[in-house]
Amino acid sequence: MEIREFADMHKLEKILSNWALATGLAVTVKGTDGRDISRSYNATDFCTKLTRGSSEGSVRCERCDREEKGVYRCHAGLTDFNIPLEADGIRVGAAVGGQVLSAQPEEGRFRHLAEDLGVDEDKYIDALRKVNVRSEESIKAAVELLGETLNTFPQYDQFTIANGLNYYLWGRYDRYLYSFREEACCKEYYNDTVFTVTPERLEPRYILDLGKYKIPKERRFEVLEGNWQAYSEPAQAYLRPDFHETTQWVFLPYTSWDVTNKDELPRLAMYDKKKGACYKVKNNRIINDMQGSLPFYPETRISDDVLLYFLEAPEVMELAEDDPSILEYEQLKNLKEDDNPVLMIVYLK
């Protein structure tokens, strides 16, 4: 089991980004296979490009990765950390990082290290001078805070199925209680029907006819007693729709139930409430012909006719490679890849 199988990865990235900004420490989250499953924040050239980038340094760094836990001093003299992440006692990943100094460095020692690693001494010292310096107390406090946060944030909306496995309702796709024009509405976890909640009953509001793409009862995760393999193998055949209702439109972001597939990109359909017609959106993004020209995807609904979308700064930079006019928008002119996410707030007429 991996953390991305049950945790809201967008929220995880937000936690990591804010923590890195506040502490100045580097951090990334790795899966149980040791591969990165989050973005890397505050990575230093001293560590990633020069030390780990040399053949001898890479061997020593990998040894630290395997053997060290908690807060520790790496072979190159930086303070690093490795925090195991668990859910119900099962390891689901690790948060690793640090790449800071706990005291002002003695440059002579690092020149000897550069020679030992076969790295250009002057480049190594230049990179060293850019490494943040933090006290041991502040490093340990920051790491402890991060560990407590990451080991508790995914564990909400949880219930236990018959074999004792804790099952999680997680992420934006599974929270179907919303309000529209002072009415309470809900869409059950698997049910195709969206209901209006009244004091007496649930009244059908919309029916999403998924047909053969609706996950059958016998394939549901909890019915299979938490057998992830039996659940995930056929999952790509079924769809999991989100639901954002506005005055004129219902926006229906959807993906397959194969939630571990990184190549499974969100898709989008729209229902015109006035015409009673449903459309598949070409390329799964709404064309934005206004200034800024960033495409739009309804990530969530803030109020009746206000929608929100966000893009990571590297995503915007990549889009700007094909359309440089994107960066002419006043708020994007000085955008850099390590900036905070770009928020798009859309007010519908």
Question: Residue 141: which of 92, 105, 102 has the closest Cα?
Answer: 102
> How would you classify the pairing of strands 193-197 and 277-280?
unpaired
**pLDDT score of 239:** 83
Q: Which residues pair with 255 in a beta bridge?
A: 240
**pLDDT score of 135:** 93
Alpha carbons 287 and 194: distance in angstroms, whole number: 28
Position 206 pLDDT exceeds 80: yes
**pLDDT score of 198:** 87
**pLDDT score of 160:** 52
- Annotated domain spans of the chain: 3-155
The DSSP 8-state label assigned to residue 215 in this structure reads P
Q: In the structure, what pLDDT confidence band is assigned to residue 159 with cuts at 50, 70 and 90?
A: very low
Quick one: what percent of the chain has pLDDT higher than 70?
87
The tally of CA atoms less than 13 A away on the side-chain side of residue 144 is: 6
Q: Between residues 61 and 169, which one has the greater pLDDT?
A: 61
| Token couple for 95 | 């948060």
Q: What is the pLDDT of residues 314-334, one digit of tens each?
A: 988 988 888 888 888 888 888
Q: In the structure, what pLDDT confidence band is assigned to residue 1 with cuts at 50, 70 and 90?
A: low
Question: Residue 173: which of 289, 264, 82 has the closest Cα?
Answer: 264
DSSP H or E segment with residue 98: strand 90-100
**pLDDT score of 171:** 44
Alpha carbons 130 and 48: distance in angstroms, whole number: 13
- What average pLDDT does the structure give for the chain? 84
CB 2 within 8 A of CB 32: yes
Q: Which residues pair with 36 in a beta bridge?
A: 30
| Token couple for 2 | 């991996």
Q: What is the pLDDT of residues 91-130, one digit of tens each?
A: 888 999 999 999 999 999 999 999 999 999 999 999 999 9
Q: What is the pLDDT of residues 37-84, one digit of tens each?
A: 899 999 999 999 999 999 999 999 999 988 999 999 999 999 999 999
**pLDDT score of 323:** 84
The tally of CA atoms less than 13 A away on the side-chain side of residue 223 is: 8
The answer to pTM > 0.85 is no
